[in-house]
Amino acid sequence: MTKTAPLKLGLIGDNIARSRSPLLHRLAGGQNGVEVTYDRLVPKDMGLSFDEVFDSCAGQGYRGTNVTYPYKEIAAAKVEVDDPLVRAVGAVNTVIFGGETPKGFNTDYSGFMSAYRSVMGDKPTGTVLMIGTGGVGRAVAFGLAGLGARTLRLVDRDPAKAEALAEALHSVAPDMEISIWLSAEKAAQGSAGIINCTPVGMVGYEGTPLAAEAMQGAAWAFDAVYTPTNTQFLQDARAAGLKVISGWELYFYQGVHAWSLFSGLGLDEAKLRADLLEMGDAE
């Protein structure tokens, strides 16, 4: 296999010490004969602001970076976004450097759709409750629209964020019925799908955003958190008999889609998945 130029990548975010994205992209590079470096860039640990870290990447030779919590919406304002749907999402998780202006993309949106289909196939989503309307929540909501969801219930500690998301969604899915609820437990009643797009459950934010008993009667659940993989939220969902879509699936597919943007190269997805799991990439 012919070696090509090294690829310098990174991830900007908080609480990313256990992120498995570096492993995914190094394995992807290995499949293609590309040497990949993938750095964890934590602004507070570097004594810098997000803007300072982001602005330095192009000059330091980064081909691109992923962006994660809590910077996805901030990053969207610093890049050029060609895709009108991603502009409507208002959050980016993948940035490409090299031109006059960095280019922004959202592989959480496409990754969620792939993750849903990997578990649920062509089954309709039904009425969905989504808790959390920040960067990843916005992407997942647009993914739901792409999957044909027609009824969406939003819960956020900041109702104004939920209202802004509802308005953005209506611009691309005018027929979607969207309601904003103050109580996740009440909104769960009659919901077929239950989604966590808050950081609750991730390392450093232990717990669950929804009482276990509120899951009874639902059909499926998705947790955007993937470190740890088996969150309390998903444990409760399994115990209630729901089909579970783990954050690992979103991590996998958003990474696959980001790799394509970073490199322009293909992947053997089945091998990548097997290698990740063999190397202890799931708990």
Active site residues: 71
With helix as H, strand as E and coil as C, how does the chain read? CCCEEEEEEEEECCCCCCCCHHHHHHHHHHHCCEEEEEEEECHHHHCCCHHHHHHHHHHHCCCEEEECCCCHHHHHCCCECCCHHHHHHCCCCEEECCCCCCEEECHHHHHHHHHHHHHHCCCCCCCEEEECCCHHHHHHHHHHHHCCCCEEEEECCCHHHHHHHHHHHHHHCCCCEEEEECCHHHHHCCCCEEEECCCCCCCCCCCCCCCHHHHCCCCEEEECCCCCCCCHHHHHHHHCCCEEECHHHHHHHHHHHHHHHHHCCCCCHHHHHHHHHHCCCCC
Please, what sign has the CA dihedral across residues 152, 158, 159, 161? negative
d(Cα 253, Cα 145) in Å, to the nearest integer? 18
User: Tokens for 164?
Assistant: 């802004």
Q: Which residues of 94-103 are buried (b: 16+ CB within 10 A; e: fewer)?
A: bbbbeeeebb
